[in-house]
Structures are given as C-alpha cells and as structure tokens.
Amino acid sequence: MSQELDLLLKRHEEIVVEAEKYAAEKKELSEKIDAHQKIIADDQARVAEIYRAPAILIKDVDKQFEKATKLSGVDVGFLFVAIALQVVRQCLVRFVPPERLSDQEAAKRVKNGEHEKSDRMHHYYRPSLEEIITSPVPFDANLGSNGFLAGSPLGHRGATPGHDPLVGLFVGTANIATSTITNWNWASRHVRTGIYGNMKGQREIIAKNAVTKKVFSSAIDKLVSQGHEGKVIIGASVSKELIHLKSDINTKKSLPLPIISAIDPKLAGELAKRGFDMANAVAYTKYYAQQAGYAILINTLVGMIHGLFYDESSGLSRSLYEVRTRRILSFSNAIASTANIIGTAATRDLKYLDVGGMLVTIYRIASDSRYIRKMKIEFLRDELADRIRGSEYDFMGE
C-alpha cells in the first residue's frame, strides 16, 4: 500500500510539473501573439496616419530629398569655379565686325580673280552654258531699268528676289538659267548684251518684257525634260547664284535680310542702314554660336570633373549625386547670365550681350529642372512605398 501511494504522489508531481510547463508555454505564446497583434495594430495605425495626412508625409520626404541633394562644401567650390569660368568666357569671346569690301574686291576674292564679261546671244529663255558661266548674273543689271528697279533704298539688291539669301536660291537660279531679271512686283525683263548710250564696251542691259511664269516654267523644263544638258545648266545656275550671294554678303552694301524685301523693300533698306543686313547677321550668328559652344564646353568639363568626386560609401545614389551636378551647372549659368545682363545694361553696348550663353542657360534650367523633378518624384515614390510597406517581420518567428 505504501509503495502504491508513493507512485501516485510521484505521478501527481509529474502532472503538476507538466501542467506548469504547459501554462508557461501558453503564457509565452499568448504574449507573443499579443506582441505581434500590437505590431499589426501599430502598422495599421501608421498606414492610416499616412492616408489621413499625406501632405505632411510628402513634405517630410521632400525635406529629405532637399537635404540629400543640398550642395556640400565641395559642390559650392565647383559652383564658384563654374561661375568664374563662364564670366571669363564672356570677357574673352568678343564680336568681330565683318570685313566690308568694295563690290570689285569681294568678287575678285570669291571668284579667284576670274573676270566676267557680258556675252549674251539673245536666245530668249535659252542661254547657253557658256553664256551662263562667262556673263554676270542677270539680276545685277540696272542699265535701261526705267523704274523697273525702283522702290528700294538698297538699289537693285533690294529690288530683285535674286539677291534675297533664301528666295534667291529659287528665283535667282531661274533668272540665271533664262537670262532674265525679276523684281519684287514679280514682273520680269530679258537681259541682253549691248552698247548703252555713250558708254564704252558691251554692257548688261535690261531689255524687253519677259513672262515671269515662263521664266519659272523654262527653268523647271530644263531640269525635268531637257536631259543631261538641262540639268547641267540648272546646276551651273545654282552654283553661280551661291557664288554671287557669297561675294555680295561682305560688300559695303551687303545683302538685305531674307524675305523682308518681299514684304517691304523700303523696310529692308532702312534695316540695312541701321546695320541689320546679311553681313552682320552672319557675323552675329557666328559670334552667338561661339558663345554657346564655349559655354557648353565649360559645362561639360565641370560636370565631368564633379562626377569624379562621387563617393559610393556616402550612401547617396549616383542619380541623386547628379542632381547636385545639375544644380551647380544651372546656378552657375544663371548667375553668369545675370551678371552679363547687368554689365551690358551698364555699358549700353549690345555687342557684349552673351546671347549664346543665355540660350544655353535657358536650356540648362529647363532640362535640369526636368531631371531634378523626375528624380524627386522617384525618390518620393520609393520613400512612400518603403514607409507604407514598413519593416518586414515573421509572424510566427521569435
């Protein structure tokens, strides 16, 4: 009996121990479930807070972006160097006025000293290739005009489409290919070789009326229907037109600006008197191209060298580092352009205006702002996704 009682007591103790063990495990599991439930509840509350006040979160993320892409001390150094280089460029690149030659000097230089002599055989609308090559362009004729070339302060250059840098490529070519001259009223005359008054030698003379429609149809017919010979004549006419325009550009009277003579020959003449002619237009175009080219070169060099200072260990992504680079370029270009505007206003000399650099500045501000906005959107999207997703955890883990 005593032995059986001992066994019962021992078994009772084992059951008590197991019960306490199970109770402890149950308590531990319950605490773990409570902890996970709290995590879930907190996560739900966090997400709910995000959806209740998204503007606050976006503002916070925006501050993070600005802090990450704020210019550092090294970046500020690059900024000042870039500004200095752009200002030095503005001072060194200067406008060079075009060389103005006499008509004879310009023709001699462009045509390598070859002398043209009027030698037209008077075949209406059908000059030979030799006539085209050896004779001057017909729209340079002015003898016998009798008011045909009136209306422009620039004389025959402002009165004839053949001298227009754009329209002349078509009308001037047709005139050369047909030995005719056309004015801005779209009337045409034949040009012949002959003696004029008491002048010595053969001259280019504006003669009988021509039909403008036939001037163009004849030129087109040569190109389309007269085989190889016709194409050679049109090719020679185009070449002669280009050479003539080139020889006239840097003369003292130069050429009118494109199209303006078609609208108002007097306006084209007035503009030319004030310096708005093709010689200055070409010179200023080259000048502005130089300004823009050197500004782009400086931006490229500064951007490349700044990129070499990127440090992966800083934790900043390459794309966000490029935001700093672009800010340096935009700020430096804007500051240099502003300084140039102030300096030009002070001197009242538009030749110092950095037009090419300003165009580059406008492009930089537009393109860099677009890139920075794109990076900010990506940063905001990724940061919001991380915050909404929260930290990962194993529900059944420890």
Residue 302: its pLDDT value, please? 96
Residue 77: its pLDDT value, please? 95
Comparing C-alpha atoms, which of 71, 59, 74, 73 is closest to residue 320?
71
Model confidence pLDDT, tens digit, residues 64-122: 888 888 999 999 999 999 999 999 999 999 998 888 888 778 777 776 667 788 888 87
Instruction: Please give the Cα distance from 388 to 114 (Å, whole number).
Output: 82
How large is the C-alpha radius of gyration of the chain? 42
Please name every residue paired with 210 in a beta bridge, in sequence order, or none if there are none: 188
List alpha helices for the chain, DSSP H.
2-52, 54-69, 73-92, 103-110, 129-134, 156-159, 171-178, 212-225, 227-249, 260-263, 265-273, 278-307, 318-347, 355-389
Residue 108: its pLDDT value, please? 76
**What's the predicted TM-score (pTM) here?**
0.75
| CB-based contact 323:377 (threshold 8 Å) | no
Residue 294: its pLDDT value, please? 97
| CB-based contact 268:152 (threshold 8 Å) | yes
Residue 299: its pLDDT value, please? 97
Residue 196: its pLDDT value, please? 84
Residue 141: its pLDDT value, please? 92
Residue 46: its pLDDT value, please? 66
The low-confidence residues of the chain, meaning pLDDT below 70, are: 1-12, 16, 34, 36, 39-54, 57, 111-113, 387-398
| CB-based contact 181:274 (threshold 8 Å) | no
Residue 387: its pLDDT value, please? 66
